[in-house]
Chain A
Amino acid sequence: MKDSGTSLTRRSLLKGVMAGGLSLVAGGFSSFLGYSNSPITIGLQAELTGGLATYGYWHLKSARAAVKRINAEGGIDGRKVRLVHEDTETDPTTGSRKMKRLILKKGAEFVIGSQHSGVCLASLPVSRRFSVPYFPIGEATEITGSEGHEYVFRLNCSVEAHAEAGYRWIMENLGTSWSVVYADYAMGQSAVEEWGSRLETRGGRIVGKIAVPQGTDDFGPYLQKVDPEQSDVLVIILYGPDALACLRRSAEMGLSDELALFGNTGSVEALDINFSGAEGLWSITNYPRRLKGTPDELMSVNRDFRDMVGINPWGRGPKGRIVDASHFWVPWEVVNLLKEAIEAVGWEGNRDHSRLIEYLEGVNIPGSLDYPQGDKYIRGVDHQGFHSQYIQRVEGGKLEIETELPPEYSEYKPNADQ
């Protein structure tokens, strides 16, 4: 009688030995190639001190929450994820050195980048030299344009994407004659060029461009140059405390009664706008500060996402700190995108980067708990992401979402082929 149960035959023994031998050889070969079950290391370049420290604080929380969730669910392809981070001190030279530290000392296989465009630009050569995929958050157009390369992917909108979506909306809803007050450094100058050139191409008019140095306390002398008779809109391209000071002074001077005020994405980012000067201000953002502004179909996943990061439905952390709503979701989504790509292409180590890059080029990303900001896609030619943007308005001291601009609304002509 033939026993088909558990008895050990010569054939089954041979099969077992062969299988075991093969797996040992495979394991040895894979560890020879540098592949193993060791953790996957993701680096985060964050501004934890300096001018953009508010951003870095939330980026770190967001990345940590994403990694914690993935590890709790079994990791990526069975491998744990290790998050390492460095503080750029909001300085390009330091940021570039910290990028090297992340890669060469801490073993980062992927780096999620800084909010500071200068840090991102200084880090691009590092990413290319060490062939490490880099996901910058800074918005300078050149990052995925003239200075971009095959290892660089940006999930969030660039300055040009904001301008592309924003200028049309302003022209159609607020007016075609603008006065622009802007921060007189790279970010502000770049934004004013992008916004202004589009307006003028479509037959609009810039009545005045008013450059303001960073850290200006008194906006009176600058705002006196605004001509309310000639302008429909005062476009404010300022960041942080400068934006607040400008809004306060424009209210005192009565400009907010005579003109529509429109702020760029950084104008209300992480700021308390519950004061009379901010009332009525329109602005553009990547993502709503308040939970109630998120699309209905994504409300539930956004509630969970915010819970995991530690943000309440009003956009504040446990100690009342206001979130940088427009960007804090990026590290969360990049970590999840890496999980998706690694598992899809069977990435095991740095030698598989090319397959991972191919996967990311042109990828469509549906809104979900992994991607709570909503549907988006990465354009293959320049590795630039496009997603919905929102027009919001300060009403009764709160940011209310007025309209959602779909991803196609932001798409601009590529500046480079990566």
Chain B
Amino acid sequence: MQTEASWNLGKLLTVLVVVLTGFGVLPLFLGRFQVVLVTEALILGVYALSFDLIFGYAGMLSFGQSIFFGVGAYTILYSFKGGLGLAVSLLLAVFVAGIFGLLVGSAIVRIKGAKFFLVTLVGSILFYLLALDNRWLTGGSDGMVVPTVFPGLVENYYLVLGVSLTTILFALILVKSPLGLVLKMIRDNERRAGLLGYSLKKYKVMTFTIGGGIAGLAGGLYAYTSGFVSAGFFHWTRSADAVVWTILGGAGTVVGPFVGAALLTVVRDTLSAVMGNIYPVVVGALLVLAVVVFPRGVFGLLERAVGNWKGGSGG
């Protein structure tokens, strides 16, 4: 007789095989520019996921993710200039951005509420201004070219897909682990978690470090695939992007940030092709809609739809 656990495992494996096969054969059905867009959406999904760990799971509304994204991107630039290979450079991007996450997190996690949001926002503005002023190091607003060898669009896609899936797997393990459960407790009832003896600061700093490292990975991948970096990578609007993608896609879920990033990448490209920079206006409207009509994001909507369907078919 089949147990419920083996039945769930079977379903999970089926979903995994379908998803992997789908993404694996996707380039066969896409145009070359669409491959570029999907690759970019995956990278931005990884970036949004880094914010989701901090906000969706640990409850900290941070506008500082662009700091780690920028640090990761510039780490790739300088490690390539130093002659390091791609794998080592990406690991270095995770490590260096993680260290920045640790330092920033240690300094600010005790701050609460609106002040926390403002401090992280000011932090990203500060890093942007520093990057802008130190042109010798960052190239300023004009930026710098990353000395990479281009392997090809499809090769880039598979690289990014592999990294994204690994990150998703890591995040799934993390959020199901005791650490993830503690983080959710902190998010839902911080006082209670403290009374139960958990060190809030330690867990929050840990989340900031992991989130910083993943944002650095996304920044590194972005710099590698686009071939350039600029001070703009630190701009606070890039932090805001991660917030929007996550809320729209579904905060507190591992897949939601990817859904949000993919959706808005398509929206941005479509709008930008016909109407110039109207994208921010539309995104603002979508965000308001998301918060009011479907607060659990697009992924929440999908989950509800699947639940209703199962309920309907079961009844």
Question: Which residues of A approach B to under 8 Å, CB–CB?
Answer: 48-50, 86-87, 89, 91-94, 96-98, 100-101, 104-105, 117-118, 121-122, 124-126, 128-129, 140, 142, 147, 184-187, 189-190
Cβ–Cβ contact B272 & A129, under 8 A:
no
Question: B31 contacts which chain A residues (CB < 8 A)?
Answer: 104-105
A185 to B134, CA, bound (A): 10
- Is B199 an interface residue, CB under 8 A from the partner? no
Question: B112 contacts which chain A residues (CB < 8 A)?
Answer: none
Minimum CB–CB distance for B224 against chain A, Å: 10
Neighbour of B226 across the interface among A96, A128, A185, A187, CB < 8 A: A96
Cβ–Cβ contact B277 & A122, under 8 A:
no
Q: Contacts A105-B32, A147-B144 known; list 4 others, CB within 8 Å.
A: A105-B31, A121-B142, A121-B144, A190-B135
Could you jot down 20 A-B contacts, CB within 8 Å? A89-B272, A92-B141, A92-B142, A92-B143, A92-B228, A92-B230, A97-B40, A97-B269, A98-B272, A100-B33, A105-B31, A118-B141, A118-B232, A122-B228, A140-B142, A147-B144, A185-B141, A186-B141, A189-B135, A190-B135
Cβ–Cβ contact B150 & A101, under 8 A:
no
Question: A96 contacts which chain B residues (CB < 8 A)?
Answer: 226-228
Nearest first, the 9 closest Cβ-Cβ pairs linking A and B are A125-B227, A186-B140, A49-B276, A104-B33, A105-B33, A186-B142, A129-B150, A104-B32, A118-B142
Segment 143-173 of B: residues with Cβ below 8 Å from A: 143-146, 148, 150, 153
Cβ–Cβ contact A129 & B276, under 8 A:
no
Neighbour of B277 across the interface among A50, A101, A124, A189, CB < 8 A: A50
Minimum CB–CB distance for A394 against chain B, Å: 29
Query: What is the interface of chain B mostly: helix, strand, loop, or mixed?
Result: mixed
Question: B269 contacts which chain A residues (CB < 8 A)?
Answer: 97, 101
Cβ–Cβ contact A118 & B145, under 8 A:
no
Cβ–Cβ contact A87 & B142, under 8 A:
no
Cβ–Cβ contact A189 & B143, under 8 A:
no
- Is B139 an interface residue, CB under 8 A from the partner? yes
Interface string of B194-208 (1 = CB under 8 A from A): 000000000000000
A48 to B232, CA, bound (A): 20
Given the known A-B contacts A89-B276, A101-B273, are A125 and B146 also in contact in the complex, defined by CB atoms under 8 Å?
yes
Cβ–Cβ contact A91 & B232, under 8 A:
yes
A130 to B142, CA, bound (A): 22
Cβ–Cβ contact B135 & A186, under 8 A:
yes
Cβ–Cβ contact B277 & A187, under 8 A:
no
Minimum CB–CB distance for A260 against chain B, Å: 29
Segment 109-154 of B: residues with Cβ below 8 Å from A: 132-133, 135, 139-146, 148, 150, 153
A190 to B227, CA, bound (A): 22
